[in-house]
Amino acid sequence: MKLFIYLYYFLLLFSWSFAGVQQEIKMIGSNNSVLGTIEYIKEQRYYFSLNDFSSALLKKNFINKDVQKIVFSLGNVKIKVTGNISFIIIDDKPYQLKNNIIYKKGIFYAPIDDFLDLLNEKTGSSYVMDYSSLSIQNKFISQEVSTNPVDLYQEKKKWKFDTIIIDPGHGGKDPGAVGYRGTKEKDIVLDVSKRLARKIERNSKTKVILTREEDIFLRLQDRTKFANANEGDLFISIHTNAAEDRRASGFETFLIGPNKNEAAVRVAARENAALELEGFSGKKLTNEDLIKATIAQSAFAAKSEEFASLVQNEIKKRVQSKDRGVKQAGFYVLMGASMPNVLIELGFISNPNEEKKLNSSSYRDMLATSIYYAVLKYQKSFDD
């Protein structure tokens, strides 16, 4: 698919820019003993290898390359880091670094100062990077850090597919698209989301969390933040479409990606309009922002795409509506998700005929059933 050629090209550029300075720093323990050396890279900032840092301290860490995660503990504090995003989890709470973690060839690089500041604040330690001697030392704690290894089995279990975040679009003061007969997108998508949640919960052990269960307004960025904080394994944002041309009809599933198709851009612009209701006066999403967001999601792009085509296939099997396929565009609500994610447009509420269908509970249930089967099939790919 074109997205991947695009991605590959930018990842190539990305890795070129890091080909430059690569050196080592020393990890100094008590009695000035060298605990180990840590690889670091210097771009505009200094980044150090968390793989080396954690093994110098503890000789133990747990890495899952498939989902780009590294886990280690410092004293009693557990630290979880994911590649290519700026959030890290310390004792199950998410914190944001000023810069992304860089993941490259199995190594997790953290921005040194950012990372140590946060670590010191949350663990009570006092790691200091000394740039003149190129060493890191824990200034105030004389004894070695007590080794309290992470429960690796528990960690492994957490990486199984077990939590789905369903995001009914819009809500509260934001009705979303409004149909010819006054049907509101926010109501249709909440109903389909709840039906989908019930089907998954009834028939599997998968945990389902909805970003909203009532008619309330939620900021776009809070939806993905919520999904990340709950450590979702799949994020499904559910919407209905609208177009000026009342004849437009059908269902489509979107992935985040640089804008390339005009119709897709219009859908994204309409879905991003909630930003204005949030009082968002900042700059608009540029294509550069989108490329960055796409790169940040490269770890799960293939999984997102896999789920997107399952959704299209399952809906196509069950409802009489036009299959508009899988597309990509700059959806703000998908930016920053640290898990596979899609945005489903169930149909055009602006098309009187489709609006009528969306108003029927059996049609909505069929849509929910379709997505449910897509989830089942997607989940199976994890069990193999």
Could you tell me the smallest distance in angstroms from the CB atom of residue 365 to Zn ion?
20
What phi and psi, each to the nearest 5 degrees, are found at residue 200? -65, -45
Say if CB 136 and CB 128 are below 8 A apart. yes
CB nearer to Zn ion: pick between 298 and 350 = 350
Q: How far is the CB of 360 from Zn ion (least distance, A)?
A: 20
Residue 297 DSSP label: T
Q: Phi, psi at residue 91, to the nearest 5°?
A: 45, 50
Residue 169 or 330: the one with the smaller Cβ distance to Zn ion is: 169
Residue whose C-beta lies closest to Zn ion? 239
Longest alpha-carbon distance in the chain? 78
Q: Which is nearer to Zn ion, 228 or 240 (CB)?
A: 240
- Residue with Cβ nearer Zn ion (233 or 271): 271
Give min distance, CB of 237 to Zn ion, in A. Answer: 8
Q: Which is nearer to Zn ion, 169 or 179 (CB)?
A: 169
CB of 364 vs Zn ion, minimal distance in Å? 15
Of 36 and 175, the one with the shorter C-beta distance to Zn ion is 175
Q: How far is the CB of 370 from Zn ion (least distance, A)?
A: 18
Residue 360 CA: distances (Å) to CA of 38, 159, 187, 314: 61, 38, 12, 19
End-to-end CA distance of the chain: 25
Instruction: Check if the beta carbon of residue 158 is closer than 8 Å to that of residue 228.
Output: no
CB atoms within 10 A of CB 267: 22
Cα within 13 Å of Cα(164), Cβ side: 26
271 versus 305: smaller Cβ distance to Zn ion? 271
Closest CB to Zn ion among residues 239, 364: 239
Please list the alpha-helical segments (H only) found in the chain: 2-17, 50-58, 112-123, 152-158, 185-203, 220-229, 262-272, 274-277, 287-296, 301-318, 352-358, 361-383
Shortest distance (Å) from residue 185 CB to Zn ion:
5
DSSP state of 205: S
Q: What DSSP string runs through 128-142?
A: EEETTTTEEEESS--
Dihedral over Cα of 144, 147, 150, 153: its sign: positive
User: Contact at 8 Å (CB) between 328 and 254?
Assistant: yes
Q: Which residues bind to Zn ion, rule: CB under 5 A?
A: 169, 176, 239, 271
Shortest distance, position 199 Cβ to Zn ion, whole Å: 22
Nearer to Zn ion, 29 or 168 (CB): 168
Smallest separation, CB 369 to Zn ion (Å) = 21
Residue 176 Cβ, how far from Zn ion at the closest point, in Å? Answer: 4
